[in-house]
């Protein structure tokens, strides 16, 4: 007798889930890949025939849905706290003392030590046993919904096995998403081959992946998970240790290297042990998390501010290595700054081979007395480029000479300058090839014009072949299409893709264009503020230094740099060309919600309590009003928050209408 489709579908799902668990969580597959694929294909076929039988927890739903993500905000039912950090034995002993002082005297305290996985934390909500939402931590209170991406991670069960004792309708599980080192290196190699930017470390690549808009792409990246926290209303839960065991029974992947410690000495031993052993793991950890085991104790201890009093992170020292510094070279950046780079004897450190490290500037070389030929200690901390922390002076070969700063640019050989009060040395030649390449790379980069496919190596090639002399030339590349497709390794298809990406980049908003121009000190944040304040490049070019400094967080170094930039005719010429090809040099009209404030001019002063200044501006503009930075007789309203500045006095003098935040919200009908 032939089984009915529903029964077979359920049977297949059960089998596949078991094999997924064996393969991904236990790493002990019991069938061959081929046999597994057969089961999977059969399920896919059946679901195609009977689409009404598809359920959200079917293994076929992992491959990545077709729907592109919209990361909606999710309110965490219980806040996702962070941990306070400790760096020494003494701090751990102090933590233990604080814990014991807050608990009844006659009760002994136990701790569970776990590895602190260097990944990205997520919260998973299961409703009636089915994974309903996956969310990022966000600010701890509100995260972003990334369910479709989470579903692609095979170590996260789509539904949990029902347990007799444990049958809850609402369950929250938290854990860390991470990428193994091998997989991370492989991903970076692939990216390098494709001309894409590589990730600095596995945590960054995890964070970048988990927020991709297309779940299908997420499914292709090798993400894994460890869970370490379970929350439910059930009374039966009494200890963290038994929660970890329960998580395992429910099908989650729990990191095996946890240990119950009966004293702080045992905790300290655990920390020391793993600080030594961390390199042997296939993934990165940055410390140990120490948690009070009893959930009753945890409740008594509670939390302060953003972290629980029942847990602490013990952070490992940044990993160091000793190696020989062969030579110091000077790299020229896009703004002409020369940065000294240590060329090192390759050494393996924290998952990758290091052969270069930054030395920041000449002062730093002097201060640390770093010389070519020295043995140096290098360090890789967090996501930064490796740096030289110190010199092993005792083992210095006699006769090594102190470093002399260069007098000519290593790339274009023109003269260098060092402005007073600055540590940096600059190449002053605007046409220096290193600067040209740097400016174009910055222009095309992801946070700026985001021209997909126009990476470092292609830019170098186009500059060397004479196709690009400035970033404005990017938009003329299409006129040379016939020649470009003949370049070895490029070809018709990739040039067409590139030219399309270039066309596409013309749509970038004003703030991105402003950032892309590469004005020294004008980062993405400053560009956004300037764009919102001045609304067009022409207003910004005309603005006086004092007016530029009225923008919040814009100080004299930025304002002077902006003035300098626009007074250089190379730059104004390039901007004119970019205007002609159709780049956006003004803020586009926002979607107007209403015309309630039509043509009314507002000035904001003081701190507003229910919204940021940017939000208030947004509200005024979207209701048809105009925001200006200083009070004049043409101002209609001055909105006054707490501790207002001189604008308040001026408004009083001129008799301008002064309104409170509440009155302002009333005006736009928004309370
Ligand atoms: S417990 C209140 N356990 O470290 C409990 N966190 O700085 C908070 N992390 O945001 C989390 N491994 O992303 C916990 N075994 C572990 C962890 C861990 C990594 C991360 C997590 C958290 C951060 C705290």
Once rounded to an integer, what is the mean pLDDT over residues 3-12? 90
CA of 288 to the centre of ligand 1 (A): 9
pLDDT interval class at 166 (50, 70, 90)? low
pLDDT at 474 over 80: yes
CA of 139 to the centre of ligand 1 (A): 14
CA–CA distance from 469 to each of 422, 435, 476, 541, 670 (Å)?
A: 29, 10, 11, 24, 51
According to DSSP, the residues that pair with 416 across neighbouring strands are 427
Q: What are phi and psi of 125, to 5 degrees?
A: -110, 125
pLDDT interval class at 164 (50, 70, 90)? low
Query: Scanning the structure block, which residue is given the tokens 């629980």?
Result: 308
Instruction: Tell me the C-alpha distance between 430 and 469, whole Å.
Output: 11
Pocket test for ligand 1, best of 76, 83, 84, 247 (most atoms within 8 A of CB): 83
Q: Which of 259-263, 348-352, 491-495 has the lowest mean pLDDT?
A: 348-352
pLDDT digits (tens, 9 = 90+) for 23-40: 888 878 888 888 888 898
Instruction: Tell me the C-alpha distance between 671 and 661, whole Å.
Output: 10
Fold of 5-62: Helix Hairpins (1.10.287)
DSSP string, 332-392: E-TTSEEEEEEEEEEEEETTEEEEEEE--SHHHHHHHT--TT-EEEEEE-TTSPPEEEEE-
Pocket test for ligand 1, best of 122, 138, 177, 228 (most atoms within 8 A of CB): 228
Q: What are phi and psi of 267, to 5 degrees?
A: -60, -45
CA of 319 to the centre of ligand 1 (A): 20
Question: Which CATH number applies to 319-395?
Answer: 2.40.50.140
Tokens (6 digits) for 655:
């008799």
Fold of 601-667: Rossmann fold (3.40.50)
Tokens (6 digits) for 381:
């901390």
pLDDT digits (tens, 9 = 90+) for 531-558: 989 999 999 999 999 999 988 888 898 9
**Ligand 1 atom closest to the CA of 85, numbered from 1:** 7
**Ligand 1 atom closest to the CA of 303, numbered from 1:** 2
> What is the CB < 6 Å shell around ligand 1?
81-83, 114, 116-117, 121, 137, 176, 228-229, 289, 308, 311, 313
Q: Whose CA is nearest to atom 23 of ligand 1?
A: 82
**Ligand 1 atom closest to the CA of 308, numbered from 1:** 2
Pocket test for ligand 1, best of 78, 79, 80, 121 (most atoms within 8 A of CB): 121
CA of 515 to the centre of ligand 1 (A): 35
CA of 290 to the centre of ligand 1 (A): 10
Instruction: Tell me the C-alpha distance between 245 and 205, whole Å.
Output: 30
Question: Which CATH number applies to 430-507?
Answer: 1.10.150.20
pLDDT interval class at 588 (50, 70, 90)? confident
Q: Whose CA is nearest to atom 10 of ligand 1?
A: 82
Tokens (6 digits) for 577:
């060309």
Instruction: Tell me the C-alpha distance between 31 and 69, whole Å.
Output: 34
Q: Whose CA is nearest to atom 17 of ligand 1?
A: 116
3-state helix, strand, coil in the chain (%, to 5): 40, 20, 40
Once rounded to an integer, what is the mean pLDDT over residues 588-607? 80
pLDDT the model gives residue 538: 93
**Ligand 1 atom closest to the CA of 291, numbered from 1:** 1
**Ligand 1 atom closest to the CA of 258, numbered from 1:** 15
pLDDT the model gives residue 590: 59
pLDDT digits (tens, 9 = 90+) for 67-112: 666 788 888 988 898 899 999 999 999 999 999 999 998 899 999 9
Q: Whose CA is nearest to atom 21 of ligand 1?
A: 121
Instruction: Tell me the C-alpha distance between 114 and 254, whole Å.
Output: 10
CA of 303 to the centre of ligand 1 (A): 15
Instruction: Tell me the C-alpha distance between 625 and 601, whole Å.
Output: 6
pLDDT the model gives residue 117: 96
Average pLDDT, the chain: 89
The full set of domain ranges for the chain reads 5-62, 86-315, 319-395, 430-507, 510-580, 601-667
Question: Which CATH number applies to 86-315?
Answer: 3.30.470.30
Q: Whose CA is nearest to atom 9 of ligand 1?
A: 116
> What SS3 state is found at 290?
strand
Is 116 catalytic? The answer is: yes
Pocket test for ligand 1, best of 78, 226, 289 (most atoms within 8 A of CB): 289
Once rounded to an integer, what is the mean pLDDT over residues 655-659? 92
Q: Whose CA is nearest to atom 11 of ligand 1?
A: 82
pLDDT, greater one: 27 or 576: 576
pLDDT at 563 over 70: yes
Residue percentage of the chain with pLDDT more than 90: 56
Q: Which CATH class is domain 510-580?
A: mainly alpha
CA of 289 to the centre of ligand 1 (A): 7
Instruction: Tell me the C-alpha distance between 54 and 52, whole Å.
Output: 6
- Element (DSSP H or E) covering residue 6: helix 5-20
CA of 270 to the centre of ligand 1 (A): 17
DSSP string, 226-241: EEEEEE-S-TT--BHH
pLDDT digits (tens, 9 = 90+) for 328-381: 999 999 989 999 999 999 998 876 788 999 898 999 999 999 999 999 999 986
According to DSSP, the residues that pair with 379 across neighbouring strands are 320, 387
**Ligand 1 atom closest to the CA of 81, numbered from 1:** 2
**Ligand 1 atom closest to the CA of 307, numbered from 1:** 2
pLDDT at 560 over 60: yes
pLDDT at 200 over 90: no
**Ligand 1 atom closest to the CA of 121, numbered from 1:** 13
* Catalytic-role residue among 116, 380, 529, 619: 116
Q: Whose CA is nearest to atom 18 of ligand 1?
A: 116
pLDDT the model gives residue 20: 87
pLDDT digits (tens, 9 = 90+) for 204-244: 899 989 988 888 888 889 999 999 999 887 777 899 999 99
CA of 595 to the centre of ligand 1 (A): 48
pLDDT interval class at 581 (50, 70, 90)? very high
Residue percentage of the chain with pLDDT more than 70: 96
Q: Which residues contact 190 (CB under 8 A, 6 or more apart)?
A: none
CA of 121 to the centre of ligand 1 (A): 7
pLDDT the model gives residue 374: 96
pLDDT interval class at 591 (50, 70, 90)? low
Same fold, 430-507 and 510-580: yes
Q: Whose CA is nearest to atom 13 of ligand 1?
A: 121
């Amino acid at each position: 007798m032939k089984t009915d489709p529903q029964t077979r579908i359920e049977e297949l799902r059960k089998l596949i889930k078991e094999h997924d668990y064996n393969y991904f969580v236990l790493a002990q597959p019991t069938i061959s890949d081929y046999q597994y694929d057969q089961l999977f294909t059969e399920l896919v076929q059946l679901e195609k025939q009977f689409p009404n039988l598809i359920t959200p927890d079917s293994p076929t739903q992992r491959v990545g849905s077709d729907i592109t993500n919209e990361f909606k905000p999710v309110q965490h039912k219980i806040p996702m706290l962070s941990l306070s950090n400790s760096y020494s034995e003494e701090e751990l002993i102090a933590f233990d003392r604080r814990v014991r002082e807050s608990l009844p005297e006659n009760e002994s305290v136990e701790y569970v030590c776990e590895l602190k996985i260097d990944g990205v934390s997520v919260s998973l909500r299961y409703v009636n046993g089915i994974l309903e939402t996956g969310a990022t931590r966000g600010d701890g209170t509100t995260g972003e919904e990334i369910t479709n991406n989470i579903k692609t991670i095979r170590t996260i069960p789509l539904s949990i096995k029902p347990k007799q004792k444990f049958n809850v309708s609402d369950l929250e599980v938290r854990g860390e998403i991470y990428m193994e080192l091998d997989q991370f290196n492989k991903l970076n190699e692939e990216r390098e081959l494709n001309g894409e930017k590589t990730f600095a470390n596995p945590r960054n690549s995890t964070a970048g992946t988990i927020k991709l808009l297309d779940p299908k792409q997420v499914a292709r990246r090798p993400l894994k998970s460890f869970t370490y926290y379970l929350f439910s209303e059930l009374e039966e839960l009494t200890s963290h240790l038994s929660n970890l065991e329960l998580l395992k029974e429910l099908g989650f992947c729990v990191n095996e290297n946890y240990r119950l410690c009966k004293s702080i000495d045992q905790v300290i031993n655990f920390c020391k042990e793993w600080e030594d052993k961390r390199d042997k793991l296939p993934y990165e950890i940055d410390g140990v998390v120490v948690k009070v085991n009893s959930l009753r104790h945890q409740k008594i201890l509670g939390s302060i501010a953003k972290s629980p009093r029942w847990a602490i992170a013990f952070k490992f020292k940044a990993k160091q290595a000793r190696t020989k510094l062969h030579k110091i070279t000077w790299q020229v950046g896009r703004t002409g700054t020369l940065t000294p780079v240590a060329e090192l004897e390759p050494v393996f450190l924290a998952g990758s081979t290091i052969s270069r490290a930054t030395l920041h500037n000449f002062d730093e070389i002097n201060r640390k007395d770093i010389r070519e030929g020295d043995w140096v200690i290098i360090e890789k901390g967090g996501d930064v480029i490796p740096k030289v922390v110190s010199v092993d002076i005792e083992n210095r070969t006699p006769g090594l000479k102190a470093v002399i700063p260069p007098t000519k640019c290593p790339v274009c050989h023109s003269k260098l300058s060092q402005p007073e009060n600055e540590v940096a040395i600059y190449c002053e030649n605007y046409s220096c090839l290193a600067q040209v390449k740097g400016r174009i790379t910055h222009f095309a980069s992801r946070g700026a014009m985001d021209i997909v496919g126009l990476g470092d190596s292609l830019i170098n090639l186009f500059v060397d072949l004479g196709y690009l002399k400035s970033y404005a030339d990017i938009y003329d590349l299409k006129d040379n299409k016939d020649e470009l497709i003949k370049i070895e390794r490029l070809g018709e298809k990739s040039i067409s893709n590139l030219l399309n990406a270039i066309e596409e980049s013309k749509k970038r908003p004003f703030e991105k264009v402003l950032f892309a121009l590469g004005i020294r000190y004008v980062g993405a944040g400053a560009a956004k503020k300037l764009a919102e304040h001045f609304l067009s490049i022409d207003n910004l070019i005309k603005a006086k230094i004092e007016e530029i400094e009225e923008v919040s967080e814009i100080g004299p170094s930025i304002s002077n740099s902006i003035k300098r930039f626009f007074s250089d005719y190379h730059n104004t010429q390039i901007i004119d060309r970019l205007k002609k090809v159709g780049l956006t040099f003004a803020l586009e009209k926002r979607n107007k919600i209403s015309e309630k404030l039509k043509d009314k001019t507002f000035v904001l002063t003081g701190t507003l309590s229910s919204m940021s200044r940017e939000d208030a501006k947004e509200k005024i503009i979207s209701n048809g009003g105009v925001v200006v930075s200083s009070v004049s007789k043409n101002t209609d309203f001055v909105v006054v928050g707490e501790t207002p500045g001189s604008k308040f006095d001026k408004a009083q003098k001129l008799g301008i209408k002064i309104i409170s935040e509440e009155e302002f919200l009333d005006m736009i009908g928004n309370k």
